[in-house]
Amino acid sequence: MIQLIDIEKVYRTKTIETVALHRVNLHVERGEFVSIMGPSGCGKSTLLNIMGLLDEPTSGHVAIDGQPVKTHSDSKLAKLRNEKIGFVFQSYHLIYDLSVVDNVELPLLYRNVSGSDRRKRALEALEKVGLSARTKHFPNQLSGGQRQRVAIARALAGNPEIILADEPTGNLDSVMGEEIMDILLRLNQEEGTTIVMVTHDENMALKTNRLIRFFDGQQVADSRVLEAQI
Ligand SMILES: Nc1ncnc2c1ncn2[C@@H]1O[C@H](COP(=O)(O)OP(=O)(O)OP(=O)(O)O)[C@@H](O)[C@H]1O
């Protein structure tokens, strides 16, 4: 589904060159729930941004459904991102002046979905995350776990094939973190959504079906490769 081939990412400033990713080869298959772990600064967010077509590698290439995206125009990349990928971030990235349902509708505005259809899909997405009773609230009237559920509903409203989640439980206590994890597991198991999740929490990572560890910009372990060797 998403293939990273020989990815290298180097950040250059006037004085420093940082190799954030080095020779990364990774194929995320449809239906997988992959967790990515590794110490701070090892390149996890950089990896997720490249997978999500938010950033370009310095060399190597990304393919979605077997199609290399290297030669795509910015507008074609944006369309692909909007149609296939949902993003969930540690700090929710909600718009605090908009109600819950308006936040969830937002990505559909860019897809020319009619107003009534937008509302219907947003309400369906909010139902999936158990927030039907909070649609008219504003984000600052919600708990952290509820805000993250709004962010997941926003990702779901676009009906994405893949969700990329960067430490989705990082700001939450363990009970709320478990709730978010249960929602993601349900989406993966019942709806077949492919999920790639960066996490610092080993317990969360162990619930997913593939765990990849990074260190200094390189993959150092992949549970799927280990299983294949046993
Ligand atoms: N825009 C940038 N400019 C320069 N260096 C950067 C930039 N973004 C990231 N880096 C560097 O690239 C490396 C990887 O960063 P990245 O944010 O991907 O790590 P991470 O594993 O997600 O870290 P954390 O767990 O702390 O979020 C780090 O050394 C970081 O300082």
- Please report the ipTM that was assigned to this predicted complex: 0.96
| 95: three-class secondary structure by DSSP | coil
What's the predicted TM-score (pTM) here?
Answer: 0.92
Q: Residue 175's Cα: distance from chain center in Å?
A: 21
User: Which of 223, 225, 191 minimizes the C-alpha distance to 209?
Assistant: 223
Which is the closest atom of ligand 1 to the Cα of 200? 25
pLDDT tens string 78-102:
888 888 999 999 889 999 999 999 9
What is the whole-number distance in angstroms between the Cα of residue 103 and the centre of ligand 1? 28
Chain-wide mean pLDDT for the chain?
92
> What is the distance in A from the centroid of ligand 1 to the CA of 49?
11
Per-residue pLDDT, 225: 67
> Is the Cβ atom of 192 under 6 angstroms away from ligand 1?
no
Q: Edge-to-edge, what's the strand order for the sheet holding 85-89?
A: 85-89, 162-166, 194-198, 33-37, 210-215, 218-222
Q: Which of 4, 12, 40, 45 to mutate to test the pocket of ligand 1 (most atoms within 8 A of CB)?
A: 45
d(CA 75, CA 89): 23
Helix (H) or strand (E) holding 179: helix 174-191
Pairing of strands 2-12, 17-28: antiparallel
Counted residue by residue, the chain has a size of 230
Q: Where are the beta strands (DSSP E) in the chain?
A: 2-12, 17-28, 33-37, 59-64, 67-68, 85-89, 162-166, 194-198, 210-215, 218-222
Beta carbon of 9 within 6 Å of any ligand 1 atom: no
